[in-house]
Amino acid sequence: LSDVLENRKGQVDDKEKIGNMSLGSACGLEYIHAQNIIHRDIAARNVLYTMNKVAKISDFGMSRQGDLYRMTKGNKKIPLKWTAPESMSVYQYTKKTDVFSFSILLWEIFSDGEEPYKGLTGVDVKRMVSCGERMERPEGCPKNMFKIIQKCWEQSPDDRYTMSEVVRKIEDVLDDYATDSIETEGHVEPKVTV
* Beta carbons within 8 Å of 81's beta carbon, 6+ residues apart: 104, 115, 116, 117, 122, 125
Confidence tier at 182 by pLDDT (50, 70, 90): low
Confidence tier at 183 by pLDDT (50, 70, 90): low
Rounded mean pLDDT, 37-48: 98
State residue 180's pLDDT score: 63
Cα separation, 152 vs 150, whole angstroms: 5
State residue 177's pLDDT score: 80
Rounded mean pLDDT, 28-55: 98
- Res. 123: pLDDT tops 70: yes
Cα 103 to Cα 3, 72, 81, 149: the distances in Å are: 19, 25, 11, 5
Told to judge if 41 belongs to the known catalytic residues of this protein, a careful annotator would answer yes
pLDDT in tens, 65-113: 999 999 987 667 889 999 999 999 999 999 999 999 999 999 999 999 9
pLDDT in tens, 124-168: 999 999 999 999 999 999 999 999 999 999 999 999 999 999 999
State residue 77's pLDDT score: 82
Domains and CATH numbers, the chain: 2-179 (1.10.510.10)
pLDDT in tens, 51-72: 999 999 999 999 999 999 999 8
The answer to whether the predicted template modeling score (pTM) of the entire model surpasses 0.75 is: yes
- Res. 192: pLDDT tops 70: no
Set 13, 14, 41, 124: catalytic member = 41
